[in-house]
Amino acid sequence: MIHIDWKPSKESSKPLYIQIVEYFKEKINRGDWPVGSEIPTQRALARMFEVNRSTIVSALDELKAEGILEGKRKAGTKIINHSFPSLTHVQPNWQSYIEEGIHIPNLKTIKQINELEFNNHFIRLSTGEASPELFPAEKMAIVLREISKSMKNLGYEEPKGMVYLREQISNYLKLHGINASLSSILIVSGALQAIQLIAMGLLQPGSTVFLEKPSYLYSLQILQSMGMRRGGIPMDEEGIIGRLIKKYKRKNKSSILYTIPNFQNPTATVMSQNRRKELIKICQQEKIPIIEDDVYRELWIDNPPPTPLKSLDTNGLVLYVGSISKTLSPGLRIGWIVGPEPVINRLSDIKMQTDYGSSSLAQLTVGKWIETGLYEEHLHYLRKQLAIRRNITMDALEKYFSDIATWKIPSGGYYVWLSIKDPISMYKLFDEACKIGILLYPGYIYDSSPNQYLRISYSYASVRHLQEGLYKLSKLIRKLIKSNHK
């Protein structure tokens, strides 16, 4: 059995599981742990490294995915040969290139979902996307025909994006209280790219990104890949608790706040008007810029949410991020950032160096959707459909989950955040759910520590699948609770 004489550092900006992966590799590469060595159980490893078992699971998954460990049901986990069996001696050692790259691989669970989502046999309670049934195919055909009549050229666009689209977005943002000149708008390929550009262009390794705890941003590896820390701030029913930022802020370290004020991913919380004002005030005092990720704004079911933080911002504090991915089509890959001009200049420069701008065809298409009013029409329709789905989902939860879970009724967006009453292994739940054909996002991918939550999306699956999926899921959870009590 191998000998472990080291513990990962909880102070490091590197995730614990990555530290453990690196420790394993070093030991194996140095020959300390020969091929064939048996690895202790997860429980034992968790004790030795003084970490949660979930961290061990992530580390072992990674090592298995990289072909360094091999787990066999009965025989335990062993160190196996390191290199891809398929690669010959003449080939460069791609594996070492893959391992040495800067970028941290996506979380195992997310990778698995990304792949399984394209398998038609699954009920997708995972997907944060409008159902294909809700895709406005007829309206899209109208827009494309419109475009094909007038199109003259499709070249590279200005660094900040197509002028026509920026005009349309500028007009559209006025409806939400934001006055944005064309030169303060940058077109990007979705909100995710917005976050990446901001991280690359404005943050430095070691800086802190404050965020809601839990948050979608925890599911991305991108900040950690660049050496940035994530500082989770608790939430209450009014949203992120802004006043806590002062407490968490480390002296002389640059930081930024990332928030999803409307129908937050994954909790569906809407930040109250008062909290918005308070947050702006605190961030002004502390000189912490805000990234406002507002991609869910239009998806209100009961009432429109308060106006954006950006509309309250008189000092260029807020970088406002929007997109049509959640409302019209994620496949177009179009979003935008609004912010102070020098910042937008900087980000557009990086965008140019990254991909020379977003697809002109997609930009033209989105511009036309907004200009013709078809976008506004579609939003009306989408809200009605979302209300139906939300209500059906609440009925199903009431029926199947009332004794095993708690939740708040979302007033918009795509998600309901389910808290399982009895402690069960969420890793096991995820795996077992996959086996019975249900995909969902376990709460641990949205947090730095394990929890008992599930994110259920009611936007994607068909109504029949929603009901069937929730029924089967409730049965599975009951089974796991039962086996816990044995």
368 versus 397: smaller Cβ distance to a copy of itself? 368
Q: Kindly list the distances between the CA atom of residue 53 and the CA atoms of 7, 16, 113, in Å, as whole numbers in the listed order.
A: 14, 11, 21
DSSP percent split of the chain into helix, strand, coil, nearest 5: 45, 15, 40
Q: How far is the CB of 5 from a copy of itself (least distance, A)?
A: 27
Q: Which residue is it, tokens 């918005």? A: 276
Q: How far is the CB of 276 from a copy of itself (least distance, A)?
A: 17
33 versus 326: smaller Cβ distance to a copy of itself? 326
Instruction: Give the range of 33-41, 170-178, 270-278, 356-364 binding a copy of itself by CB under 8 A.
Output: 356-364
Site for a copy of itself in 210-239 (CB under 8 A): 220-222, 225-226
Residue 462 interacts with a copy of itself (CB under 8 A)? no
Encoded one letter per residue, x for contact with a copy of itself by CB under 8 A and - for no contact, window 311-350 reads ----xxx-----------xxxxxx-----x-xx--x--xx
Q: What residues form DSSP beta bridges with 69?
A: 79
290 versus 454: smaller Cβ distance to a copy of itself? 290
Q: Kindly list the distances between the CA atom of residue 466 and the CA atoms of 69, 99, 394, 396, 469, in Å, as whole numbers in the listed order.
A: 38, 40, 11, 8, 5
**CA–CA distance, 258 with 88 (Å, rounded to integer):** 46
Site for a copy of itself in 182-211 (CB under 8 A): 189-190, 192-193, 196, 200-205, 207
16 versus 203: smaller Cβ distance to a copy of itself? 203
Q: How far is the CB of 203 from a copy of itself (least distance, A)?
A: 6
Q: How far is the CB of 204 from a copy of itself (least distance, A)?
A: 4
**CA–CA distance, 326 with 304 (Å, rounded to integer):** 16
Give the other-Cβ count within 10 Å of 94's Cβ: 11
> 272-293 burial by CB neighbour count: b if 16+ within 10 A, else e?
beebbebbbebbeeeebbbbbb
**CA–CA distance, 184 with 160 (Å, rounded to integer):** 9
Residue 104 C-beta-side C-alpha neighbours within 13 Å: 24
Which residue from 10, 90, 303, 435 is in contact with a copy of itself, where contact means CB under 8 A? Answer: 90
**CA–CA distance, 157 with 148 (Å, rounded to integer):** 18
Which residue from 46, 80, 116, 140 is in contact with a copy of itself, where contact means CB under 8 A? Answer: 140
Which residue from 144, 244, 282, 463 is in contact with a copy of itself, where contact means CB under 8 A? Answer: 144
162 versus 480: smaller Cβ distance to a copy of itself? 162
207 versus 262: smaller Cβ distance to a copy of itself? 207
19 versus 255: smaller Cβ distance to a copy of itself? 255
364 versus 420: smaller Cβ distance to a copy of itself? 364
Site for a copy of itself in 18-57 (CB under 8 A): none
Residue type, 106: N
Site for a copy of itself in 364-403 (CB under 8 A): 365
Residue 357 interacts with a copy of itself (CB under 8 A)? yes
Residue 145 interacts with a copy of itself (CB under 8 A)? yes
Size of the site for a copy of itself (CB under 8 A): 92
Q: How far is the CB of 262 from a copy of itself (least distance, A)?
A: 20
**CA–CA distance, 480 with 426 (Å, rounded to integer):** 10
Q: Which two tokens stand for residue 322?
A: 């929007």
Site for a copy of itself in 154-173 (CB under 8 A): 154-159
Q: How far is the CB of 324 from a copy of itself (least distance, A)?
A: 11
3-state secondary structure of 25: helix
60 versus 143: smaller Cβ distance to a copy of itself? 143
Find the Cα–Cα–Cα–Cα dihedral 143, 334, 358, 288, rounded to 10°: 150
Site for a copy of itself in 110-139 (CB under 8 A): 111, 114-115, 118, 129, 132, 135, 137
**CB neighbour list of residue 167: distance below 8 Å, 6 or more residues apart:** 182, 367
Encoded one letter per residue, x for contact with a copy of itself by CB under 8 A and - for no contact, window 272-291 reads ------------x--xxx--
Give the other-Cβ count within 10 Å of 371's Cβ: 17
Instruction: Give the range of 140-148, 166-174, 234-242, 379-387 binding a copy of itself by CB under 8 A.
Output: 140-148
**CA–CA distance, 440 with 31 (Å, rounded to integer):** 40
Q: Concatenated DSSP letters for 368-385?
A: HHHHTTHHHHHHHHHHHH
**CA–CA distance, 430 with 413 (Å, rounded to integer):** 23
Q: Which residue is it, tokens 């827009």? A: 143
Instruction: Give the range of 145-153, 178-186, 260-268, 433-441 binding a copy of itself by CB under 8 A.
Output: 145-153
Q: Which residue is it, tokens 């200049």? A: 345
31 versus 155: smaller Cβ distance to a copy of itself? 155
